[in-house]
Amino acid sequence: MAKRCLTSAKTFQGETMTSRKHVLCIVGTRPEGIKMAPVIVALQREPWARVSVLTTAQHRDLLDQVLRFFAIRPDVDLNVMRANQSLPQLTERLIGALNRTFARLTPDVVLAQGDTTTVMTAALVAFYRRIAFGHIEAGLRTHDLHNPFPEEMNRRMAGHLARWHFVPTERSRQNLLDEGVDKAQIHLTGNTVIDSLLQVAAYDHPLALPLDPSKRLILVTAHRRENFGEPFRAICRAIRMLVEKYPDTEVLYPVHPNPNILTVAHDLLGGHPRIHLCGPLDYTAFVEAQKRAYLILTDSGGVQEEAPALGKPVLVLRSETERPEAVDEGVVRLVGTDEVRIVAEASRLLEDAFAYQEVARGVSPYGDGHASERIVAVLRQALCVEPASVSPRDRNEILHATRTTAEVIA
């Protein structure tokens, strides 16, 4: 027996049909696109759901690449970014644009992922308009409001406004319980980034860059706001020291277009024959770069989740992380932005084969590739009337969504 959504029947072309729930999925940045894509695709297969996609385009070209790959066409594009826009200006533009759009579309549910300004404002406007909000990748915390900035504040605010908290790990679940969130609103699903990663990593993809296969590849990503200025300059000096110290290595650094990063990176790293600076890679190429890398240096949250699943050691160029699970597993290490420490930790992995293997174990504490299915199962149960007989698939998905991390993701 099929599920029946809690909406009145409507007549279309002479047939009586149950109207579907309108789910508005919001994406603003490339990482959000990667992590929301499997959820959007899974929802589009659900007969009870009418899915719309809204992009704020916090990342313009980077996000567009991801959406094209997953064959997702936005229904609304707010295109809010402006050159040298401050956070207050961005927030003001987003609140106004989202409010007008929510009023016009009247969604039943708003879904957003992560901790960007897009997510925070979407949660706030949904709250003002009394629309149920689902927070994907909920519960991440550093417990330092200014680090990372402004992401820690963004996810805390979204976390206090959400009806559904889709958490990636048991630790994230505990963070929310400690903050007083009702346990019935918290659903342990794993991280949707692993859903996308496993789909893409199953195949080899072209990487049209002049890399030397005889060299060990060090992949670098660094772009976080809190590292602007001297911390980023120290990161660049450490990178240059490493390639000069180890002639059998080369560096690939897809440089973020923010001028605080782009200008400094080219000033300090440009011109070295074994340091390849390029523009941001599309998603498939970046996954391929991770697969080929010997070692990864990053301040990215998404890379901290992806690289361990690919068996790649990660040195995190931050003093704190909201993703401590991989650190606890020993497959990710926090090294900060001190150039001496970065070089020392990287040298240990480049010189000591045993130390390297200890970190390159292919352990993924963030998911098993089925997070999006669990999220959709929770929404299906919440938004539709359960019949007397529940299908085995639905029963299993809901069960998976409420088990502990050890049971679901092991």
Give the model confidence (pLDDT) of 382-394 as tens digits.
Answer: 998 544 344 555 5
Tell me the per-residue pLDDT of 82-110, one tens digit each, with 9 for 90 and over.
888 899 999 999 999 999 999 999 999 99
Burial class (CB in 10 A: 0-12, 13-18, 19+), 397: buried
Percent of the chain with pLDDT over 90: 78
- Does residue 165 surpass a pLDDT of 90? yes
pLDDT band at residue 7 under the 50/70/90 scheme: very low
284 vs 5, higher pLDDT:
284
pLDDT of the residue at 192: 97
179 Cβ contact list (under 8 Å, min separation 6): 159, 160
- For 91, 352, 374, 380, the CA distances from 161, given in Å and listed in that order, are 17, 48, 21, 20
52 Cβ contact list (under 8 Å, min separation 6): 22, 23, 24, 25, 75, 76, 105, 107
Query: How far apart are alpha carbons 40 and 376 in whole angstroms?
Result: 9
pLDDT band at residue 362 under the 50/70/90 scheme: confident
- Does residue 5 surpass a pLDDT of 80? no
pLDDT of the residue at 393: 56
Half-sphere exposure of 408 (CA within 13 A, CB side): 28
> Active-site residues: which are they?
115, 137, 151, 223, 225, 256
Determine contact, residues 130/109, Cβ cutoff 8 Å.
no
pLDDT band at residue 406 under the 50/70/90 scheme: very low
Determine contact, residues 113/192, Cβ cutoff 8 Å.
yes
Please, which residues bridge with residue 384 across strands? 5
pTM of the predicted protein model: 0.84
Reduce the DSSP state of residue 107 to 3 states and report it.
coil
Q: What is the mean pLDDT of the segment spanning 332-345?
A: 97
Count of other CB atoms within 10 angstroms of residue 206: 8
Residue 382 main-chain phi, psi, to 5 deg:
-75, -35
- Does residue 15 surpass a pLDDT of 80? no
- For 80, 192, 217, 231, 243, the CA distances from 237, given in Å and listed in that order, are 34, 34, 18, 10, 10
Tell me the per-residue pLDDT of 170-205, one tens digit each, with 9 for 90 and over.
999 999 999 999 999 999 999 999 999 999 999 999
Query: How far apart are alpha carbons 340 and 179 in whole angstroms?
Result: 38
Count of other CB atoms within 10 angstroms of residue 14: 5
86 Cβ contact list (under 8 Å, min separation 6): none
The first and second tokens of residue 118, run together, are: 């897009």
pLDDT band at residue 60 under the 50/70/90 scheme: confident
Query: How far apart are alpha carbons 19 and 108 in whole angstroms?
Result: 12
